[in-house]
Structure 1
């Protein structure tokens, strides 16, 4: 179990009893909070569970390309492949993760999408 986290420029340091895991913020695909612990999923599939709330994790990451489609998750927009608009709004990520968009977070997702250059067909 990870016990602490520090930031340095574009990296995070996750510390475990035996190791310091130095990860690039760009490699973070998603962060999910359950019971005040956040699981960080990386591009290579590795996961780390840290004793940090999602709010504190977001403060540590502090990047505009991360956004919250739900109260309990933080997504790196670099890994979003699709946004399903019909029926149930969902985000599909490159690694196969699917996150529904809560009505209260719809505006945050739209703000993120507005930052991306769009070509309409």
Structure 2
């Protein structure tokens, strides 16, 4: 008989802890909730005592934050899933770091998906590098503009400034990185367009996302193309052409 995976729930709302516990027990026969806590000190104690495989961790808890819990437990070996009420900065930071999260109010489908992902990754290296990146983005550390890209078989931590452009292929996005081979991730380009818009990225075509830093010129013939400094031609859609030209004129 396979040993059950151990889960700890850290949240300062008792009703959320209860809901998460019921969702786990109703949807996963191979997990066991071995502990709960609502504050930093108790969270550290219960995690050290139970050595869980997965921790559901609220960002804002009594006595501090989930980050304080993680700092006191390093190095840790569990899979981490953040629980958070909608917070634009937190969600962006989590996505930049390719971490799993559950948004309050909890949606059962999203909950099951996050737990399933964590269970699949139990044997992978832990999430410390991703958490470091999350904290840097959440704290708006301007010295650390990095992004975590998780593929089917590995994890890449890249400098945002090294991303030349991205290309969409339905539900997949290929990142073309300066001086590196491309990286293919199983997420649509729309999510990355929203994440990277504040880092001088534009979307000249529904299938492309381009860094302004690598644009050499615009060729207005044949409907319009962006020419990157490596010679790559990126098409410009007719409906985006005028706004793109106006944007480049302002630079």
Q: 1:78 aligns with which of 213, 216, 234?
A: 213
2: CA distance, partners of 1:25 / 1:64: 8
Alignment RMSD (CA, Å): 1.9
CA deviation profile, 1:2-47 (whole Å, cap 9, x unmatched): xxx6344321111235532110111000111012100000111421
- Give the deviation of 1:63 after TM superposition: 2.0
1:113 paired residue number? 248
Q: Which has the higher helix share?
A: 2
1:15 paired residue number? 150
For this pair of structures, how many residues does the alignment match? 112
TM-score (norm 2): 0.41
Q: 2:224 aligns with which of 68, 71, 89?
A: 89
Tell me which structure has the larger Cα radius of gyration. 2
- Runs of 4+ displaced beyond 4 Å: none
Q: Which has the higher strand share?
A: 1
C-alpha distance 108-16 of structure 1, shift in aligned 2 (>3 A): same
Q: Does 1:100 align with 2:232?
A: no
Q: Does 1:6 align with 2:96?
A: yes
TM-score (norm 1): 0.80
Query: Using CA pairs below 8 Å that are at least 6 residues apart, which structure has the higher relative contact order?
Result: 1
